[in-house]
Amino acid sequence: MPQLEGIGWFTHEVVKRWVEWHPEHEFVFIFDRPYDKKFLFDAKNVTAVSTFPPARHPVLFYLWYEWSIPRILKKYKADVFVSPDGFLSLNTKIPTLMVLHDIAWRHFDKHVYWSAMKFYNYYVPKYADFANRIATVSEFSKKDIVNQFAVESDKIDVVYNGSLAKYMPLSDQEKLRIKAEYSDGQDYFLYVGSINPRKNVPNLLLAFEEFKKKSNAPLKLLLAGRAMRDDEQEGEIRNASAFKEDIVLLGYVDNDLLPKIVASAFALTYVSLFEGFGIPLVEAMYCDVPCITSNCSSMPEVAGDAGLLADPQSVDDICSKMMTMYSEPEQRTLLIEKGKVQRQKFSWDLTASKMWNALEKTLTTKID
């Protein structure tokens, strides 16, 4: 399977279920480049269209959505257009459901390229107003969209993310094998996600160093994710650390291995500055792995009482939660048990079902 991340997995898991659950409907999948046939799911009710240009720049976003998309919608006589990546076409009268996962760029503009920010600031408010309905992935994101744009709350449906079936507990023997290969046989804290400023990896590294100094514990810290920018701060902090040999940079980990890395972790440490949802939290719960996460944006909503919440701006607070996770085994066990309850709120079946409900409402929602 080609590499997918948050929005990609959301789209993949939803439409896979739609084409299976609704053989009475015809689906047209529109790609901006040559596609892998795996994305068609061997479904008889799917037509694939690849159209120019590849939408990877603001100018190309505009051309793709305002010229290519309307032409295809008209050609195939579409009843509804579902746009999964926060954009849409202003040049069509087809009812539109826009999936807007978050608006992190509104809060972290310094972390977004100038040209992209100009496009987002100008067009996304227009998209939000134009869409018949909007789906987003948390109550936090819904409130954020309402506060930032002139959108009525009842126009937005909250549709949580899910977890792939591959995320499940491992046997003790399999955990030992994974740890022997990736952490010299030691327990480890784990970060999963891209390496970019919003993910707050520098503070996590500094907190881990303080944890090692205070605890003298043999735990390591593993980071699984690719660097998204030419930002060397994380590497500089790691190289300056007295415990740099205990910090393991795994880079991108493929979809078959990553669930095993997660399930073998002592705890997930996901202390991002901002998330519209935070899928790794749910994946960890499904692996019976406890979480340390941030006390801001959507993360308290997703973690519930199954995670230790830390101030992501405070190295001391993150370190304190790591110390609690290490030194209080009863607390760690309790978090795992609470995670088994909390995770029931999140599944791709629920996501696909709620998205279908949102699609049906889109067909009956008029725009001015």
Is the pLDDT score of 123 beyond 90?
A: yes
Measured from the Cβ of residue 17, the count of other Cβ atoms closer than 10 Å reads 18
Do 84 and 190 sit in the same domain of this protein?
Answer: no
Do 341 and 359 sit in the same domain of this protein?
Answer: no
Residue 167 within a domain: no
Do 327 and 239 sit in the same domain of this protein?
Answer: yes
Do 27 and 176 sit in the same domain of this protein?
Answer: no
CA angle 27, 160, 24 (to 5 degrees): 20
Per-residue model confidence (pLDDT) at position 366: 63
CB 263 within 8 Å of CB 175: yes
pLDDT band at 315 (very low <50, low <70, confident <90, very high): very high
The whole domain housing 233 covers: 172-345
Beta-strand ranges (E) seen in the chain are 27-31, 46-50, 81-83, 96-99, 133-136, 156-158, 188-192, 220-224, 247-251, 267-270, 291-294, 307-310
Q: Would you give the distance in Å from CA 276 to the centre of its chain?
A: 8
Q: Which residues contact 234 (CB under 8 A, 6 or more apart)?
A: 195, 201, 202, 205, 227
Per-residue model confidence (pLDDT) at position 234: 65
Residue 69 within a domain: yes
Q: Tell me the C-alpha distance between 277 and 100, whole Å.
A: 11
The number of helices, as runs of H, and strands, as runs of E, in the chain is: 15, 12
Q: Which two tokens stand for residue 173?
A: 């023997």
For residues 248-269, average pLDDT: 95
Per-residue model confidence (pLDDT) at position 283: 98
Do 271 and 293 sit in the same domain of this protein?
Answer: yes
- Helix axis angle for 201-215 and 315-327, nearest 10°, is 50
3-class SS at 365? coil
Residue 334 within a domain: yes
Do 12 and 111 sit in the same domain of this protein?
Answer: yes
pLDDT band at 113 (very low <50, low <70, confident <90, very high): confident
For residues 19-24, average pLDDT: 97
Residue 302 within a domain: yes
Report how many domains make up the chain: 2
Do 278 and 322 sit in the same domain of this protein?
Answer: yes
Per-residue model confidence (pLDDT) at position 233: 61
Do 205 and 270 sit in the same domain of this protein?
Answer: yes
Q: Which two tokens stand for residue 263?
A: 């399930």
For residues 295-317, average pLDDT: 98
Record the pTM.
0.93
Is the pLDDT score of 365 beyond 80?
A: no
Is the pLDDT score of 264 beyond 70?
A: yes
CA angle 47, 53, 58 (to 5 degrees): 120
Per-residue model confidence (pLDDT) at position 231: 54
For residues 5-28, average pLDDT: 95
Is the pLDDT score of 189 beyond 50?
A: yes
Measured from the Cβ of residue 25, the count of other Cβ atoms closer than 10 Å reads 11
Instruction: Evaluate the omega torsion of the peptide bond into residue 125 and state whether it is cis, within 30 degrees of 0.
Output: no
Do 100 and 178 sit in the same domain of this protein?
Answer: no
Do 318 and 200 sit in the same domain of this protein?
Answer: yes
Residue 107 within a domain: yes
pLDDT band at 242 (very low <50, low <70, confident <90, very high): confident
Is the pLDDT score of 95 beyond 90?
A: yes
Residue 141 within a domain: yes
Do 253 and 126 sit in the same domain of this protein?
Answer: no
CATH number, domain containing residue 121 = 3.40.50.2000
Per-residue model confidence (pLDDT) at position 55: 85
Mean of the per-residue pLDDT values of the chain: 93
Residue 236 within a domain: yes
Q: Which residues contact 347 (CB under 8 A, 6 or more apart)?
A: 162, 163
CA angle 107, 110, 112 (to 5 degrees): 90
Residue 1 within a domain: no
Per-residue model confidence (pLDDT) at position 1: 45
Do 131 and 237 sit in the same domain of this protein?
Answer: no
Q: Would you give the distance in Å from CA 23 to the centre of its chain?
A: 29
